[in-house]
Amino acid sequence: MDLPVYFISDIHLMLKKSDSEVRRQNILFQFLRHVKESGGTLVINGDLFDFYFEYKDVIPKSYVPFYHEILKLREAGVKVHFILGNHDYWVRDFITETLFDHTYSSDISFEVNSKKFFVTHGDGYLSWDTGYRLLKGFIRSRLFMWTYRWLHPRMGYVFARWISKKGEHYHHSDEYNKKITDEMAIHAQKRIAEGFDYFITGHYHQAKELPLNGGKLLILGDWLSFFSYAKFDGHDLKLHFWKHNEAP
């Protein structure tokens, strides 16, 4: 991967274009243009969309401005990698062949400048997520996706808007956030013991950087409230917070 390597997660682009959503996307597009100017690689670590379901000949038109920004990034030579999250798993060839350079359906690992990365969206990792893991297996099954695609797209997206959480669910207490961090640190320590330098996760809507046994756990935050991202410059991986109208 070309340097620098940027990581973002949990953007949750909304199907409904409210004024606040347009403002939020404009901030995101500022960041993407910054990446375009700096060059390198962008890794989107899941939940890019609040809901995405791709039919054979239908994609969500609400996201067209974002599609345009990504294609401009790629035209500039930036490689864009997309790890599917629990909100946007149901993709087809537009995502995998047209929009992104590489799309992954599960955790990935890679090495850059002798540093080893383990990257996961993070859903289903918590010990108390047993019910969710069962649900995840069902909604990601070929049977579910085949059945859902028999719905007319208009009906499919009516249902999508109903189940979409719109972001308010993601605010947790400090105590609950600490419980999540402690458990994810256990997973990170296992990977660091295997030789990884960095364990990167999204999903949990907290922005945190935690040194662990010579390695690092990094929880990426989101683009709903934190506007956070990580950057690997070839030497170290650090968490940053995007500022409105930040210069490239």
| pLDDT (tens digit per residue) in 229-248 | 999 999 999 999 998 655 44
Q: Let me know if residue 247 belongs to a domain.
A: no
Show the domain range for 64.
5-241
Which of the residue ranges 35-44, 54-63, 136-145 would you say has the lowest mean pLDDT? 136-145
CATH of the domain at 17: 3.60.21.10
**Sheet of strand 108-112: strand arrangement:** 108-112, 115-120, 198-201, 215-220, 207-212
The pTM score is 0.89
Q: Let me know if residue 189 belongs to a domain.
A: yes
Let me know if 44 is exposed, middle or buried by CB neighbors in 10 A (0-12, 13-18, 19+): buried
Which of the residue ranges 17-26, 38-47, 162-171 would you say has the lowest mean pLDDT? 162-171
* Count of domains observed in the chain: 1
Q: Let me know if residue 246 belongs to a domain.
A: no
Q: Let me know if residue 248 belongs to a domain.
A: no
- Asked, as a colleague might, if the bond just before 4 is cis with ω within 30 of 0, I would say yes
H helix or E strand, kind and range, residue 215: strand 215-220
Q: Which residue has the higher pLDDT, 87 or 26?
A: 26
Measured CA to CA, the distance from residue 149 to residue 224 in angstroms comes to 29
Let me know if 50 is exposed, middle or buried by CB neighbors in 10 A (0-12, 13-18, 19+): buried
